[in-house]
Amino acid sequence: MLIEYPEYLIHRKWMTHAIELANTAGDAGEVPVGAVIIDASGNLIAEGENRKERDKDPSAHAEILALRAAAKSLDNWRLNQCTLYVTLEPCPMCAGAIVQARINLLVYGVDDTKTGAIRTVTNIPDSAASNHRLRVMGGILESSCRQQLQAWFATRRRKDNGQR
């Protein structure tokens, strides 16, 4: 997909914001994933960061929290005029919720080779189980998103092994 330069700058802007949210999550001991949702006018209407550990909630992924906040903001569960930015390719749970919310465009940073359910491991949006055709763009600020996750996991492994 050919991206026009001004559109790419917009995608970089919102992915940068998602990366900042992911930093907050990582600093709190969560896997560093951040998500933002933009409405059709380009306004930020919702954001989320991983909160599974803090909330003791297996569904408290950045995407789910952002989808809930966006639906509340718009007073409508149909988010078909919205764009979701997330630093890591969504898992099966989040991919299903994104399809159910009828998100117009999903923009993500880095592929998830273990649980990615958009393009990498499986493809929920294009499967027969999907009732919505989701537009997808991956790889926006990919190296920054990858480095953020790798650094967080490396630090976590060092702590788990008693190293500093």
Residue type, 78: R
Closest CA relative to residue 11, chosen from 107, 97, 91, 115: 107
DSSP labels, 80-117: TT-EEEEEE---HHHHHHHHHHT-SEEEEEE--TTT-T
User: Distance between CA 114 and CA 143 in Å, rounded?
Assistant: 18
Q: Which are the catalytic amino acids?
A: 63
